[in-house]
Amino acid sequence: MEKEILKSIQAELNGDGNSLAKLLNTLSLVKEALGEGSWVGLYVYDEKSNSLNLGPFQGSPACEVIKPAKGVVGSCYTSKRALYVKDVSKFPGYISCDSKVKSEAVWPLMYDEQVIAVLDIDSPKLDGLKDELPILDQLAVLLGDYNPAGGN
């Protein structure tokens, strides 16, 4: 993944248009850069059900609901920290939504010190995201700063 993708993503998020389309295009850019078998999406926190619900994503079908503290996504939500799991088979309580996933990275997206969503990226390769983490960290910042109402 080339660092220039961040400029394309920033232009996409800051451009005119529908906020859902902007998110879907952003996630598509990342998935295309990561290659076949990758998955990129958001799990959005719902206070009423106390769950992380599948939001915009690019890739194969995924788990629709994840509870806080469950699996990699739920652990990210609870800890409010990014996590990188080199080998998901070694993660205690791992939730397998796709048997092809071998490694996973997640980032909390915050608003007013609360996690409002989790950016989730899966790879079909063991330790498959290690070289991409610096760029993906910056992607998480861009998504965390994204304001669909404007003012970016």
DSSP H helices, the chain, are 5-14, 19-34, 71-79, 133-145
Structural domain contains residue 150: no
Structural domain contains residue 59: yes
Structural domain contains residue 118: yes
Structural domain contains residue 151: no
Structural domain contains residue 89: yes
What average pLDDT does the structure give for the chain?
Answer: 94
The torsion defined by the Cα of 114, 38, 94 and 9, in degrees rounded to 10, comes to -10
The domain total for the chain is 1
Structural domain contains residue 128: yes
Structural domain contains residue 34: yes
Confidence class of residue 149 from pLDDT cuts 50, 70 and 90?
A: low
Question: Which tens digit of pLDDT belongs to each residue from 100-139?
Answer: 999 999 999 999 899 999 999 999 999 999 999 999 999 9
